[in-house]
A = this chain, B = another copy of it.
């Protein structure tokens, strides 16, 4: 099993560690003769990068990328595209005292037991830093989807801690990006920011929900049975660090409705058959039905906090853990471009011939 690759037609292979020389991806299967918009890639990386605002981690990375293969005279050649992003602001010394500690709700214990070793510097391979490569690959996927059929993928923060905004399939990326927390509802955006700042002051962390809208997905995307489009999306989302839940359309709330209330009746429209409601979230029998695809991804609060915690080390010593490394008080705003990138990778993998 190829552990670090995603996708069968547009295959992204991820490599690199948080405090290594660089992190990156190889994209195999990108069509040839496609002009790659480098600014589009940098735009997405900037949305993900640390230090972008007062509510994110203070680690500073410019996240400037290099493409070292697969491009000739500005266009893709059909050969593998290698993208690398140097690691610049790694403070490895911050982690030396953690080399034998099992941090609560981190991957320290499981990595050590699985591999018999641990790259403890910045979390090594288990760090969300590696998702920068996915975002770069996803940016290329987005460009392909745009040109293939005007597909638009829009993620936004619909909940932080106890602050929820209304969900809607109509939010625009401008609304979303104008909010530091990537919540398109101004009032809730403000409350979310305040909640995050408060948590940061307390040395604590918060979780939340990224809701996603896929617009213009053609009918017929996805496989029946084992590789339903929703199954592929769920798989992709759970690949992201800190994800605890995924739901499509009416999701968990489907349970408290009866079939007669939940079923999406078909109606004839000028644009062809559409469903009156969209509890299906745009997917029926695992296949897109032409309606907007809607899903939610739940992120837990960042495991790294400054508050004192109790845990043990590999010699079973009790440890008091306090204020280590740099971290986000809430990863959810920075998770938006990662969710979008993984969504784009799923779609392009299904839509490329």
Q: Which of A48-56, A75-83, A140-148, A181-189 is the contact stretch?
A: A75-83
Q: Please give, as numbers and ranges, the residues of chain B lying within 8 Å of A115 by CB-CB distance.
A: 32-33, 77-78
A209 contacts the other chain (Cβ, under 8 Å)?
Answer: yes
* Residue A37 CB within 8 A of the other chain: no
Instruction: Pick the contact of A116: B5, B21, B33 (CB < 8 A).
Output: B33
18 A-B pairs with CB atoms under 8 Å apart are A5-B226, A15-B82, A16-B69, A32-B115, A79-B224, A105-B263, A107-B284, A107-B287, A110-B285, A125-B224, A126-B285, A204-B259, A207-B262, A209-B252, A231-B238, A259-B303, A262-B301, A265-B311
Task: Write out the residue numbers on chain B whose beta carbons fall within 8 Å of the beta carbon of A81.
Answer: 15
> Could you tell me the distance in whole angstroms from the C-beta of A5 to the nearest C-beta in chain B?
7
How far apart sit A113 and B353, CA to CA, in the bound complex (Å)?
17
A105 to chain B, nearest CB (A): 4
Chain B contacts for A288, CB-based, 8 A: 110
Contact A105 B280, CB 8 Å, known A249-B244, A298-B251 = yes
Mask: chain A, 144-171; 1 = CB below 8 Å from B; 0 = not: 0000000000000001111000000000
A234 to chain B, nearest CB (A): 4
Q: Is A325 an interface residue (CB 8 A)?
A: no
Chain B residues in 8 Å Cβ range of A63: none
- Whether B259 and A251, one on each chain, are in contact in the complex, defined by CB atoms closer than 8 angstroms, is no
Query: A212 interface residue, CB < 8 Å from B?
Result: no
Per a CB cutoff under 8 Å, which of B233, B236, B257, B263 touches A104?
B263
CB < 8 Å: which of B11, B111, B251 contacts A244? Answer: B251
Q: Please name all residues of chain B whose beta carbon is closer than 8 Å to the beta carbon of A113 when the two chains form the complex.
A: 219-220, 287
A72 contacts B117, CB within 8 Å? yes
For residue A303, give the distance in angstroms from its CB to the closest CB of chain B.
6
Which residues 52-76 in A have Cβ within 8 Å of B in the complex? 68-70, 72-73, 75
Copies in the complex: 4
Report yes or no: B223 in contact with A254, Cβ–Cβ below 8 A.
no
Supposing A110-B285, A130-B225, A265-B310 touch, asked if A72 and B119 sit within 8 A by C-beta, the answer is yes
What per-residue 1/0 map shows which CB atoms of A310-343 lie under 8 Å from chain B?
1110001010000000000000000000000000
Proximity string of chain A (73-116) to chain B, C-beta cutoff 8 Å, 1 when within and 0 when not: 10101111110000000000000000000101111011101111
Q: Mark A281-294, 1 if CB is under 8 A from B, else 0.
A: 10111111100000
Determine the distance from Cα of A191 to Cα of B249 in the docked complex, in whole angstroms: 27
Partner pick for A258 among B107, B161, B316, CB 8 A cutoff: B161
Q: Produce 1/0 per residue, A207-222, CB < 8 A to B.
A: 1110000000001101
